[in-house]
């Protein structure tokens, strides 16, 4: 038990470091080594916990007799520095990654948590490898580091517009005008950058592409992948501030409003300059107004003829006006019917999307699962995404659909990753079985051939490596572990005489 407590005391140093800072490729490579080291230590702790539980069961006592390891607050939080983090986001992050701060950690809780941390480490390892293998992605990340964050840039432009125009000094005024023009040009670039970020994060199905949008948003500040919570909401940190992707999109909406305000300010300053220029260059002449008499009612030769003509004309005008009014109302009525149908369809699609999301979530509870389950969940998430994306702006459920769309896309990306991992595990198992069959064939048919035995031993070795590489989080893991022992035995039994 003393060994277990010693290992548990290492967790406050290990788990907070289980994160990935996106930036320079060399730094990512160094972080991979650290992440792999932490994963290995977490697996050792997990093995020790499993041994303790087996010993307790062997002595026919209950697992509840094992010690509880204090609270999250005392175990982790004293060793974690959060900077100027918003308290709500900080609490959400702590709860997602470490658990409720006022709850004692039982050995079973700890075992479950370590499983989640190991899985997060596996995820970071895969993402790191994907980033480093994509040259264009690395180049873009390196480029973003040279630019200010979006918030910093807007703050800088806002400060540059704090100008008191000096009309009495033409030279200074010229410099101020040039400054306003420069801000206007840069503001256009910021607007383009903002549109790219929003479109990339909202519409991309690839996590790597989403990371590019976040990188453009954060710029020099950089960002760190901190955790992927139970709702598949990615939590990142930048400049000591913890955010979810939806928080970044909310910031982008605020930045859009700020840009609009700056544009108004630029227009006001420009108008002041133009007005001043007109006052200097022009002499305003008073306008001459010429009045022409207007004869509204022509004189007719016959007053009686006028009345008859007027009545007929009035009738025609009334009939024409009535017909025009009816024709005018038809598009309005059609629009009302269309809007009503659009609202009904939007509500129906939103409800169907929620149902599909719940079904997809239920499917993947209590993992691991075989590949077909992950594929079914992936399909349901995609169907839900398509329904949410079809909901038009202006309907009552559009704001909710917009909010859920991002979360569902992250769910789809996470499930796709799990499906890919499961598929790769199955492929490794099948490849190992094929190699084992070939090795057995060599041994049985050429037991005296040194070359055949070497080939058999090599194939057993390859098969063992494939099985060892199958992650614990997959449904294939248990079968791989059961097969692994016999493969190692067969490998050791192949004796090659010199």
Band (pLDDT 50/70/90 cuts) for residue 286 is very low
Distance CA 245, CA 197 (A): 11
Mean pLDDT of the chain: 79
pTM above 0.95, yes or no: no
Residues 190-226, buried b or exposed e (16+ Cβ, 10 A)? bbebbeebbebbbebeebeebbbbbbbbbbebbbbbb
pLDDT top residue among 53 and 383: 383
Q: Which residue has the tokens 């479109």?
A: 199
Check if the beta carbon of residue 184 is closer than 8 Å to that of residue 273: no
**Is the pLDDT assigned to residue 294 strictly greater than 70?**
no
**Is the pLDDT assigned to residue 55 strictly greater than 80?**
no
Q: Which of 190-204, 326-340, 447-461 has the lowest mean pLDDT?
A: 326-340
Q: Name the nearest CA neighbour of 4 among 116, 80, 122, 114.
A: 114
DSSP string computed for 224-239: EEEEE-TT--EEEEET
Distance CA 308, CA 316 (A): 12
Alpha helices in 59-160, H assignment, sequence order: 72-75, 87-97, 107-132, 135-144, 150-160
Q: What average pLDDT does range 201-218 have in this prediction?
A: 87
Q: Which of 149-158, 225-234, 315-324 has the lowest mean pLDDT?
A: 315-324
Convert the pLDDT of each residue in 59-76 to its tens digit: 655 444 445 545 445 555
**Is the pLDDT assigned to residue 248 strictly greater than 80?**
yes
Q: Name the nearest CA neighbour of 469 among 427, 440, 439.
A: 427
Q: Which residue has the tokens 């025009």?
A: 324
Q: What is the dihedral of CA 340, 345, 346, 347, to 10 degrees?
A: 90
pLDDT top residue among 324 and 470: 470
Alpha helices in 364-397, H assignment, sequence order: 371-389
pLDDT of residue 336: 54
pLDDT top residue among 295 and 259: 259
Q: Which of 4-8, 210-214, 249-253, 415-419 has the lowest mean pLDDT?
A: 4-8
Q: Which of 13-22, 85-94, 134-143, 254-263 has the highest mean pLDDT?
A: 254-263
Q: What average pLDDT does range 316-322 have in this prediction?
A: 47
**Is the pLDDT assigned to residue 322 strictly greater than 60?**
no
Residue 129: partners with Cβ closer than 8 Å, 6 or more residues away? 32
* Adjacent-strand bridge partners of 237: 224, 242
pLDDT of residue 218: 94
Convert the pLDDT of each residue in 389-438 to its tens digit: 999 988 888 888 887 888 888 888 888 888 999 999 999 999 999 999 88
239: phi > 0 → left, psi -120 to 50 → alpha, else beta; which? Answer: left
Q: Which of 113-117, 184-188, 313-317 has the highest mean pLDDT?
A: 184-188
Q: How many CB atoms lie within 10 A of CB 301?
A: 6
Q: How many CB atoms lie within 10 A of CB 485?
A: 10
pLDDT of residue 258: 93
pLDDT of residue 13: 82
Convert the pLDDT of each residue in 448-467 to its tens digit: 787 878 888 898 999 999 99
Band (pLDDT 50/70/90 cuts) for residue 129 is confident
pLDDT of residue 289: 40
**Is the pLDDT assigned to residue 367 strictly greater than 70?**
yes
Check if the beta carbon of residue 159 is closer than 8 Å to that of residue 119: no
pLDDT of residue 331: 56
* Cβ contacts of 162-165, under 8 Å, gap ≥ 24: 163/269, 165/269, 165/272, 165/273, 165/276
pLDDT top residue among 405 and 362: 405
Residue 195: partners with Cβ closer than 8 Å, 6 or more residues away? none
Q: Name the nearest CA neighbour of 94 among 208, 235, 214.
A: 235
């Amino acid at each position: 038990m003393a060994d277990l407590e010693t290992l548990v005391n290492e967790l406050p140093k290990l788990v907070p470091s289980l994160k990935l800072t996106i930036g320079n490729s060399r730094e990512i490579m160094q972080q991979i080594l650290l992440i792999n080291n932490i994963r290995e230590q977490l697996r050792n702790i997990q093995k020790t916990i499993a041994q303790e539980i087996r010993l307790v069961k062997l002595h026919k006592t209950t697992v509840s007799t094992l010690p509880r390891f204090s609270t999250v607050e005392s175990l982790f939080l004293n060793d974690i520095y959060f900077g100027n983090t918003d308290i709500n986001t900080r609490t959400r992050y702590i709860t997602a990654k470490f658990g409720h701060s006022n709850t004692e950690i039982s050995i079973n809780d700890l075992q479950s948590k370590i499983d989640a941390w190991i899985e997060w480490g596996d995820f970071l390892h895969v993402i790191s490898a994907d980033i480093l293998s994509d040259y264009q992605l690395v180049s873009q990340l390196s480029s973003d580091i040279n630019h200010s964050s979006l918030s910093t840039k807007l703050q800088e432009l806002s400060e540059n517009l704090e100008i008191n125009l000096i009309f009495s000094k033409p030279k200074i005024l010229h410099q101020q005008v040039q400054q306003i023009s420069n801000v206007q040009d840069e503001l256009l670039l910021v607007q383009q950058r903002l549109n790219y970020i929003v479109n990339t994060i909202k519409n991309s199905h690839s996590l790597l592409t989403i990371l590019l949008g976040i990188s453009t948003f954060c710029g020099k500040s950089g960002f760190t992948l901190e955790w992927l919570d139970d709702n598949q909401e990615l939590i990142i940190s930048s400049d000591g501030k913890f955010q979810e992707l939806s928080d970044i999109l909310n910031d982008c909406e605020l930045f859009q409003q700020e840009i609009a305000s700056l544009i108004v300010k630029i227009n006001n300053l420009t108008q002041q300059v133009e007005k001043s220029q007109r006052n200097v260059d022009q002499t305003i002449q008073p306008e001459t107004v010429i009045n022409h008499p207007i004869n509204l009612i022509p004189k007719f030769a016959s007053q009686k003829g006028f009345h008859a003509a007027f009545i007929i004309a009035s009738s025609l005008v009334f009939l024409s006006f009535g017909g025009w009014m009816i024709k005018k109302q038809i598009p309005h009525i059609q629009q009302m019917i269309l809007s009503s149908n659009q609202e009904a369809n939007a509500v129906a699609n939103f409800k169907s999307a929620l149902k599909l999301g719940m079904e997809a979530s239920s499917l993947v509870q209590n993992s691991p699962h075989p590949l077909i389950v992950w594929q079914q969940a992936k399909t349901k998430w995609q169907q839900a995404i398509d329904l949410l994306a079809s909901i038009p702006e202006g309907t009552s459920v559009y704001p909710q659909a917009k909010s859920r769309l991002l979360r569902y896309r992250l769910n789809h990306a996470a499930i796709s990753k799990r499906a890919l991992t499961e598929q790769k595990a199955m492929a490794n198992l099948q490849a190992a079985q094929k190699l084992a069959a070939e090795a057995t064939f060599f041994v049985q048919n050429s037991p005296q051939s040194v070359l055949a035995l070497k080939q058999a031993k090599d194939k057993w070795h390859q098969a063992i490596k494939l099985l060892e590489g199958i992650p614990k989080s997959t449904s294939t893991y248990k079968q791989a572990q059961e097969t692994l022992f016999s493969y190692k035995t067969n490998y050791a039994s192949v004796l090659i005489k010199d």
